[in-house]
A and B are shown apart, each in its own frame.
Chain A
């Protein structure tokens, strides 16, 4: 009986390692596994935001409200920031490879008072800055990357999710 048990354990371990190898070779992207992962992720997010709002903290968040960009998609914003190469100069939490130290760190960007020291940090100012930085600050080292207004809105929406510690 003991031998059978040892053999069963060996077989199960072999199968598990084969499954792990097959999973590692899978193409990333949509699929049943990703759905499960997304559900877990969304649930955790919901719990975290419920906890952050807390029982004793029910006042409206005027700052968050002033940073609402209604037609901006934060997830797409993080993606287009990779395509424009923002991460070569800026460290941006949550954007792949963005750990540059040429320009300012963008963690906690939603808390800043000014954009680049020249425009008020509100949706209109940030979008205008992203579309044409040189027009607002002629000596800036930040190039005009030809950002479209739609892309800028998505990027701004993402930057306003960065609330700092």
Chain B
């Protein structure tokens, strides 16, 4: 058992695994990057089996945690079998135990096991929380019950919400904050979790090693709709990620049809802009999620519903039904046509 667990330290070091991830990731052709961008947001992680599983490994941290768990389970399995055999022997022989048993089984063995576990888990902890000075910085702020996300806050400061787009094989430092209560950021497929604590900034460096679509979830009870506080994570090829950053920076798409124009007017006149920002239409509001690219997101309501006009309309009319305890009031005083136009407009923002 000892040998198996020590292998974690003697085997790959943090650096080696990172380099391995770099070299195994084939640099994608422009066509692949294009394809990844085209299909972005078409499918929700809600429809993908295992998108929120620690066993579906797509990140450096998740890989280390998986290795640790696997070897611990194997080790404990061996210990369990060994103890069962000892019990069987003791039972069969029916003789008083000697002092030797107490010393070896009661003191030496537990000490050895505890020290081994401590060394193994500390090495994983050090490896998975190591900072990288060249990492891309993303600010993630937890709110009841959604996620505010700012890409490259010192540079382009691109604001989005409830969806994290990541480049593959590039370290990303997340600066985790909270606006109200304690939340916890967790994308099981990519990395371990870290708490978001009001009044302080926790840094977590993660590296995705596979492209694809995954799901994150708030992992610290934060109120009535805590289980409904999730988010979509899409890992893109590096080139596609850069392109995505570039074209997402601009203002929201124009309303191109009469019903969409009417919907935009409803947005402005009903007071939505007091909490929600749509770049180019109503800027500055920070109380609710940024809606500039709502229609392009993979899901609605912080990773909980598929994004379509039906769900958006139902959301506006009865928020408290879809997300009990949310700060947004239900807008059921809108007339039927107003609700239809507003939902059509919001879904058209891609």
Say whether B309 faces chain A, with CB atoms less than 8 Å apart. Answer: yes
What A residues does B28 contact at CB under 8 A?
A: none
What B residues does A134 contact at CB under 8 A?
A: 340
Counting chain B CB atoms within 10 Å of each CB, the highest count among A102, A138, A140 belongs to: A102
What B residues does A89 contact at CB under 8 A?
A: 310, 313-314, 317-318
Closest CB in chain B relative to A52 CB, distance in Å: 33
Closest CB in chain A relative to B225 CB, distance in Å: 15
Report whether A88 and B313 are in contact in the complex, using a CB–CB cutoff of 8 Å: yes
* Cα(A87)–Cα(B46), bound, Å: 15
* Cα(A143)–Cα(B317), bound, Å: 12
Closest to A84 in B: B310
Q: Contact string, B273-288, partner A, CB cutoff 8 A, digits 1/0?
A: 0000000000000000
Say whether B105 faces chain A, with CB atoms less than 8 Å apart. Answer: no
Chain B, range 304-321, C-beta contacts under 8 Å to A? 305-306, 308-315, 317-318, 321
Q: At the interface with chain A, which of B111-119, B170-178, B330-338?
A: B330-338
If A28-B49, A141-B339, A143-B313 touch, does A101 touch B318 (CB 8 Å cutoff)? Answer: yes
Interface residue count for B (Cβ, 8 Å)? 29
What B residues does A83 contact at CB under 8 A?
A: 306, 308
What B residues does A7 contact at CB under 8 A?
A: 88
Chain A, range 78-113, C-beta contacts under 8 Å to B? 82-89, 97, 99-102
If A89-B314, A100-B314, A100-B318 touch, does A145 touch B309 (CB 8 Å cutoff)? Answer: yes
If A100-B318, A141-B317 touch, does A86 touch B310 (CB 8 Å cutoff)? Answer: yes
Counting chain B CB atoms within 10 Å of each CB, the highest count among A29, A101, A138 belongs to: A101
From A28, A102, A146, contact of B318 by CB (8 A): A102
Say whether B343 faces chain A, with CB atoms less than 8 Å apart. Answer: yes
From B50, B92, B318, B340, contact of A144 by CB (8 A): B340
Closest CB in chain A relative to B56 CB, distance in Å: 11
Closest CB in chain A relative to B343 CB, distance in Å: 6
Report whether B306 and A102 are in contact in the complex, using a CB–CB cutoff of 8 Å: no
Closest CB in chain B relative to A48 CB, distance in Å: 31
* Cα(A83)–Cα(B337), bound, Å: 22
Say whether B91 faces chain A, with CB atoms less than 8 Å apart. Answer: yes
Closest CB in chain B relative to A112 CB, distance in Å: 20
Q: Contact string, A8-37, partner B, CB cutoff 8 A, digits 1/0?
A: 000000000000000001011100000000
What B residues does A144 contact at CB under 8 A?
A: 340
If A83-B308, A143-B309, A143-B310 touch, does A88 touch B322 (CB 8 Å cutoff)? Answer: yes
If A89-B313, A102-B318, A139-B337 touch, does A97 touch B343 (CB 8 Å cutoff)? Answer: no
What A residues does B45 contact at CB under 8 A?
A: none
Say whether B344 faces chain A, with CB atoms less than 8 Å apart. Answer: yes
Closest to B308 in A: A85
If A3-B91, A101-B318 touch, does A84 touch B340 (CB 8 Å cutoff)? Answer: no
Closest to A141 in B: B336
Q: Which residues of B contact A (CB under 8 A)?
A: 49-50, 55, 88, 91-92, 305-306, 308-315, 317-318, 321-322, 332, 334-337, 339-340, 343-344
Can you list 30 A-B contacts (CB < 8 A)? Answer: A7-B88, A25-B55, A27-B49, A27-B50, A29-B49, A83-B306, A84-B308, A85-B310, A86-B310, A87-B314, A88-B310, A88-B311, A88-B318, A88-B322, A89-B317, A89-B318, A97-B305, A100-B314, A100-B318, A100-B321, A101-B318, A102-B317, A140-B336, A141-B340, A143-B309, A143-B313, A143-B344, A145-B309, A145-B310, A146-B309
Q: Which residues of A contact B (CB under 8 A)?
A: 3, 7, 25, 27-29, 82-89, 97, 99-102, 134, 138-146
